[in-house]
Chains A and B, each alone.
Chain A
Amino acid sequence: TQLLEQSPQFLSIQEGENLTVYCNSSSVFSSLQWYRQEPGEGPVLLVTVVTGGEVKKLKRLTFQFGDARKDSSLHITAAQPGDTGLYLCAGGHTNAGKSTFGDGTTLTVKP
């Protein structure tokens, strides 16, 4: 079983602070997705990274895929209460047809 470990499991910060969450594995993935899930809803895709070393930015969110395609990070600048939610990473392989999900990081941003 390929595992994706996310850290930290829980994070509570004040509005305006910066934060980084991590997604690590001993396996190589063809691509990695980050999702955000709000209470009572399904996960919603934020970004897909496919190339080792790739960096993608989505407004205040910066995503990086490790050079060896085994790990990824999500950095949020100047967090806002609207960023509150469960952040999930998922890794996939080209021919596997299915993804492996991490257990998520629960982020709370206090106003």
Chain B
Amino acid sequence: NAGVTQTPKFQVLKTGQSMTLQCAQDMNHNSMYWYRQDPGMGLRLIYYSASEGTTDKGEVPNGYNVSRLNKREFSLRLESAAPSQTSVYFCASRDRGSWPQHFGDGTRLSIL
């Protein structure tokens, strides 16, 4: 039972580098989400996808892009990484008509 799988688990980047965070879910959920979690600030929504083929901005979208590749996969891209984007990134999915979200174990990203 994999649930939500995120890769990589850890990454260190230099300022200005680009990278894509991958997320896949095997629960046939329609909605998928990307959050960042900073110390003492809980979870802040970056982007979400209510269904395959749609994406919407969340609370803190600047500096990020997303792609809903298919129903299973939702990727998050940093085009030009900045130190302010150092954080733990969580992907989550949710079934239509059901509120609880299922989270992956996170990607710990450090930008120097």
Q: Which A residues contact B (CB, under 8 angstroms)? A: 1, 6, 9, 30-31, 33, 40-45, 48, 88, 90, 92, 97-99, 101-104
A41–B41 contact, CB under 8 A? no
Q: How far is the CB of B50 from chain A (nearest CB, A)?
A: 5
Chain B residues with Cβ below 8 Å from A31 are 99
Between A and B, 19 residue pairs with Cβ closer than 8 Å are A6-B42, A33-B99, A41-B106, A42-B4, A42-B90, A42-B103, A43-B43, A43-B101, A44-B103, A88-B43, A97-B31, A97-B48, A98-B45, A98-B48, A98-B56, A101-B35, A102-B42, A103-B41, A104-B42
Across the interface, B58 reaches (CB within 8 A) one of A6, A43, A98, A102, namely: A98
Using a CB-CB cutoff of 8 Å, which residues 56-103 of chain B contact chain A?
A: 56, 58-59, 90, 92, 99-103
B104–A42 contact, CB under 8 A? yes
A101–B40 contact, CB under 8 A? no
Chain A residues with Cβ below 8 Å from B105 are 40-42
Q: How far is the CB of B35 from chain A (nearest CB, A)?
A: 8
How far is A88 from B106 in the complex, measured between Cα atoms in Å? 16
B43–A101 contact, CB under 8 A? yes
B100–A48 contact, CB under 8 A? yes
> Which of chain A's residues has its CB closest to B50's CB?
A97
Across the interface, A9 reaches (CB within 8 A) one of B40, B99, B100, namely: B40
B42–A99 contact, CB under 8 A? no
Q: How far is the CB of A18 from chain B (nearest CB, A)?
A: 24
A48–B99 contact, CB under 8 A? yes
B99–A92 contact, CB under 8 A? yes
A43–B103 contact, CB under 8 A? yes
How far is A83 from B41 in the complex, measured between Cα atoms in Å? 21
Known: A1-B59, A42-B90. A101 touches B42 (CB 8 A): yes
How far is A99 from B44 in the complex, measured between Cα atoms in Å? 10
Given contacts A98-B33, A101-B44, A103-B41, 17 further A-B contacts (CB under 8 A): A30-B99, A31-B99, A33-B99, A42-B90, A42-B105, A43-B90, A45-B100, A48-B99, A48-B100, A88-B42, A90-B101, A97-B56, A98-B58, A99-B99, A101-B45, A102-B42, A104-B42
